[in-house]
């Protein structure tokens, strides 16, 4: 039990140290840690935690030009696919799809709600607002060539596949959309 508390405390200290790394390396007192920031950071390194960026985080950061290209391809392909779905699904006669300035709006009617998928250049993310699962922020993972929600590891296209297939009265497959890792059935 005591060991578990020490591990939890060490993880919390690692998070605080990451947020306060600037203050720990300067003579300015940390607003988060007060005067003890150097001691906390030293303890983190002695426990074997690192505040340096991991290889995973370095691999997942894409340059602005790549982000804009991939984001545009993704949103345009989703727009085309959602237009097909809305046109073919019998239960979405009041549905509407619009895409403008990096914002894709998919209105599935009053019964099912509206999906909004938009690019966030400053964060280099795609944000999703879903009437089913709520808001999520997706990062482009360059090595996998897909958009992933880092909190649960699920891809944007996999979530859309799961949610939209429960709404519409036809078989959907987001696997053919750009930058999708959904398996085509």
How far apart CA 94 and CA 85 sit, in angstroms, is: 12
Q: Kindly state the average pLDDT of the residues 159-177.
A: 92
SS3 of residue 32 by DSSP = coil
- Are 164 and 91 members of one domain? yes
What Cα–Cα distance (Å) separates residue 142 from each residue in 75, 78, 151? 17, 19, 17
Q: Percent of the chain having pLDDT more than 90?
A: 54
**In this predicted model, what pLDDT tens digit does every residue of 65-85 receive, in sequence order?**
999 999 999 999 999 999 999
pTM score: 0.66
Q: How many domains does the chain contain in total?
A: 2
Q: What is the pLDDT of residue 170?
A: 87
CA–CA separation, 138 vs 158, rounded Å? 12
Boundaries of domain holding 88 = 59-176
Average pLDDT over residues 42-71: 58
- DSSP annotation of 29 reads P
Domain assignment of residue 87, yes or no? yes
Dist CA 46 CA 41 (whole Å): 9
Confidence (pLDDT) at 9: 55
| Strand pairing class (114-120; 125-130) | antiparallel
86-95: pLDDT as tens digits = 999 888 888 9
If asked whether residues 43 and 110 sit together in one domain, one would say no
Instruction: Please give the C-alpha separations between residue 68 and each of 8, 42, 156, in angstroms, as whole numbers.
Output: 39, 40, 17
Question: What's the CATH number where 101 sits?
Answer: 3.30.920.10
Residue 180's SS3 state is coil
Judge contact between 12 and 47, C-beta under 8 A: no
- pLDDT reported for residue 80: 97
Question: How far out from the chain centre does Cα 38 lie?
Answer: 33
Examine the pLDDT at 36 and tell me if it is beyond 90. Answer: no
Whether the pLDDT of residue 37 is over 70: the answer is no
**One domain, residues 41 and 94:** no
Relative orientation angle of helices 156-167 and 64-88, to the nearest 10 degrees: 10
Q: What is the three-class DSSP state of 44? A: helix
């Amino acid at each position: 039990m005591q060991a578990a508390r020490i591990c939890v405390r060490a993880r919390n200290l690692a998070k605080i140290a990451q947020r306060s790394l600037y203050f720990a390396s300067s003579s300015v007192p940390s607003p988060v840690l007060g005067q003890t920031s150097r001691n906390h950071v030293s303890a983190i390194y002695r426990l074997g935690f690192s505040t340096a960026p991991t290889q995973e985080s370095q691999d997942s950061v894409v340059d602005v030009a790549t982000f804009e290209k991939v984001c545009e391809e993704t949103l345009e392909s989703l727009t085309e696919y959602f237009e097909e779905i809305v046109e073919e699904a019998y239960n979405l006669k009041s549905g509407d799809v619009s895409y403008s300035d990096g914002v894709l709006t998919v209105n599935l009617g009053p019964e099912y709600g509206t999906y909004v998928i938009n690019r966030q250049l400053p964060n280099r993310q795609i944000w999703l607002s879903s009437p089913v699962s709520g808001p999520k922020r997706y990062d482009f993972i360059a090595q996998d060539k897909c958009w992933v929600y880092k909190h649960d590891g699920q891809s944007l296209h996999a979530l859309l596949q799961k949610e939209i297939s429960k709404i519409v009265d036809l078989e959907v497959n987001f696997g053919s959309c750009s930058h999708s890792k959904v398996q085509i059935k």
